[in-house]
Chains A and B, each alone.
Chain A
Amino acid sequence: MNSFISIEAIARRFGAQPVFENLWLGVPRGSFTCMIGHSGCGKTTVLNILAGLDAPDDGVVIVDGRAIEGPSLDRAVVFQSHALLPWRSVLGNVAFAVASRWPDAPRAVVQARARAAIARVGLAGNEMKLPAELSGGMKQRVGIARALSIDPKILLMDEPFSALDALSRGTLQDEVRRICTDTDQTVFMITHDVDEAIYLADRIVLMTNGPGARIGEIVVNTLARDRTRADLHRQPGFYELRNHLIDFLVTRSAALRDTMPPGHDNRHPPEIRLTPPRSTQETPCAVNS
């Protein structure tokens, strides 16, 4: 597999206790990857390393052929807590990112680009509002607009919708899916919502419990690519996929921490494709990459 992002044998330790060791993961260009795992297993740590905000104790992460050495405008982050600058308007927040990406661009160009990004997340007309005047969902949209406005090669999102109510979470998922499939954006997103992962992700990375977490398996989403949130649960294979993920979170994530199955290779975690339900085979078959 030719990976756009290649996580190679990274380890991160706080004190003596390793959060994870010898972690390998490849992310193909243009794919939407979701990482699922229990709280504290090290998902945020992985994402911070991808963002360059944290550095691994061992190993490297290669992006587009080059090792990560720190944060980069090529990798935009949508923070869980939106992290908007409260003294700047919606436009000011997005324009700050645009001006950072293109420092020599004329002011008018920066503003136009920022306005376009704001319109893309459905916030046109709110440019002059301060973050304090926005709802949680709107703030998160500004965070997404800010990240997308700089044309990043990779979009990194850490539980971006977890603080939102179900309704705004749904609309935001629709928008993110639309924008990301339209532009073939490479996305790495952390979530603890199984349905969100099924709807958005092409590949779902399942982490076992920490400390010493590993990638238990990678589930390839075989649902139709033109799925919508409304018809998601009618997609053939939806319940098999959902049950598989929940089964992993409820029982296998804990069991796998203590005893990995024989032949488990950290470098090549099993890649699971659930077969469509109409076919005769009902059991998942492991395909090694």
Chain B
Amino acid sequence: MTLSLAARGAILSLLILALFLAAWQIAVSGGGSAPAMDPEYAKLMGQSAVTGHSAMPGPADIARGLWQALRDPFYDHGTNDKGIGIQLAWSVARVAAGWLLAVIVAVPLGFVIGMSPLLGRAFDPFIQLLKPISPLAWMPLALFTIRDSGISAIFVIFICSLWPMLINTAFGVSSVRTEWLNVARTLEVRPIRRALTIILPAAAPTILTGMRISVGIAWLVIVAAEMLVGGTGIGYFVWNEWNNLSITNVIVAILIIGLVGMALDQALARAQAAVTFPQ
């Protein structure tokens, strides 16, 4: 019996996961007596330091934490105690807002830059200069001018989403095959119809690639941005749990950040597949 490559890959994945969990469990359950310790310091460090158990939670703790988090994800017990679902919703909403704003700006602007070699050259130095700036470097400027931490976070997402979409849209539009444009010319297709029926479908796969890169970067940046501005969001949640010394919740949050990022990427991958045409 020979299994398909996909099935064998899945089995191997499960095996790697099992090995990893086992190693993790062994690593954290190590005994040993606690070294003599200043009681004041021991109190500060919590129970685990005194009993000699590792402060690092094991896989079972994480599973329990995950269950706790997912059983009631939307509870709200005040500023510093909200369910992980609420915090995620805040983060996703900020990413969606900033990313959509970037789509609204980058796609039309990229179209214009891609269609006009002159504007392409004119904008190029600015794009090259602004693109490598870490989006978080904009944060103080955003806080100073916008004076609202939530909107500042959205602005940072907007900035980091902008460049990949702008560059990809301009590239996709400027590299539409001449023969397709010639078809439009010989059929006397007007500019608006040409943009919508020839250039947009031809450039759509490249534009979607830019959108997919953007949403990935935006999801990376939102965690850091929310750690900075605080208040709500999954980034703030992670920081808050670190302050509570709840490593279990930190790891639970890390897992969930990964899952949501994967879901966002997959959604854009679907959209990308939908507009990609066989050559």
Residues of A within 8 A of B (CB): 51-53, 70-73, 75-77, 79, 81, 83, 85-87, 96-97, 100-101, 130, 132-133, 150
Contact = CB atoms under 8 A, between A and B. Distances in A.
B79 interface: no
A130 B183 contact: no
Contact of A96 (B182, B185, B187, B188): B187
Given A81-B179, A83-B179, A83-B180, A76 B278 contact: no
Contacts of A132: 277-279
B189 interface: yes
Contacts of B188: 71-73, 100
Contact of B201 (A53, A77, A85): A85
Given A51-B186, A100-B188, A79 B279 contact: no
Contacts of A87: 201-202, 275, 277
Q: Bin chain B's interface residue count.
A: 10 to 19
Interface string B241-279: 000000000000000000000000000000000010111
A73 B183 contact: no
B84 interface: no
A123 B127 CA distance: 48
B207 to A, nearest CB: 13
B128 interface: no
Interface string B197-219: 11001100000000000000000
A77 B275 CA distance: 28
A214 to B, nearest CB: 27
Contact of B278 (A52, A72, A83, A130): A130
Nearest to A82: B179
A147 to B, nearest CB: 9
Contacts of A86: 277-279
A96 B186 CA distance: 12
Contacts of B183: 79, 83, 85
Nearest to A152: B186
Given A77-B186, A87-B275, 6 more contacts: A52-B185, A75-B186, A85-B183, A100-B187, A132-B277, A132-B279
Contacts of B179: 79, 81, 83
Given A53-B182, A81-B179, A100 B189 contact: yes
Given A81-B179, A85-B201, A53 B186 contact: yes
Contacts of A77: 182, 186
A150 B279 contact: no
A150 B198 CA distance: 19
A96 B197 contact: yes
Among A53, A83, A130, the most chain B Cβ lie within 10 Å of the Cβ of: A83
Contact of B198 (A71, A76, A81, A85): A85
A97 B187 contact: yes
Contact of A52 (B186, B202, B279): B186
Contacts of A133: 278
A85 B275 CA distance: 13
The 6 closest A-B pairs by CB, nearest first: A132-B278, A87-B277, A100-B187, A83-B179, A71-B185, A71-B186
Contacts of B201: 85, 87
